[in-house]
Amino acid sequence: MNQNTVTNTIKLFQLDGKVSLISGASRGIGRAMAEGLAGAGSDLVIAGREIDTLTPVAEQITEETGRTVLPIQADVGNLPDIDALVDQTVATFGRLDVLVNNAGVNVRNPALEFSEEDWDFVTDVNLKGAFFLAKACGKIMEKQGGGKVINTLSLTSAIGLPTSVAYTAAKGGLLQLTKLLAVEWAEHNIQVNGIAPGFIRTEMTAPAREDSRNEWILNRTPADRWGEPEDLAGLTIFFASNASDFVTGQMVFVDGGFMAGSDWRRQK
């Protein structure tokens, strides 16, 4: 491999001059994705429901990477917030190249006990909000001649996990939405893909690490550990970069092998 080939390969993954918008970016997976994109050269808009938690994250990413990071308070379950978020992004940076649709919420209850209020709350953010944010960003990307949409999916996009009925329905729907948008938007040079995290060490998953589910998860995960938010950064960069220009409509699990088999340690 000659030097030009090496240089061109590295450039495939560089995001210099790009602007990325990440929802649900104040902590956990979303924050790690934002840090990865900034480290690869992208300027950022990070969005979430609490500006007080977003601002220090933006300041830290700027300090560590030198990229411009704009925090914007927005609830993607509220459609007017979506329009304002995208408008402010374009007004500030003049363009929008990458959307990471990461905002998510969950309410746990058995299906027979699940309320309409909780159903609407979960699906409004995880599915309805994700679609309308993608739609708003897609209009900008179409005018620019291309872009990238990355949806945060879930193990529940493919399997059922008890007590997460609305979340499972929403993440399953988001997988199908990923495929549909990939097909419709291919002619606009917009690639749409999904990242499905396994069991990642975040605040949201803390209860599962402290009860009987922890043993079951480790038994089912060949990597024999919980994932860390940083484990999502590399794939996020790939989907955001020119390296994925011929990849669209895909879901990739980042799960330590969870979906590859079951109770692997018990079978050894």
Question: Is 167 noted as a catalytic residue in this protein?
Answer: yes
Residue 127: is it exposed, middle or buried by C-beta count within 10 angstroms (0-12/13-18/19+)? Answer: buried
Residue 219 CB coordination number (10 Å): 15
* Residue type, position 178, single letter: T
Strands (E), the chain: 19-23, 43-48, 69-73, 98-101, 147-152, 190-197, 251-254
Which value, in Å, is the radius of gyration of the alpha carbons in the chain?
18
Cα atoms in the Cβ-side hemisphere of radius 13 Å centred on 54: 21
Q: Of the listed 167, 239, 253, 258, which one is catalytic?
A: 167
Catalytically annotated residues: 167
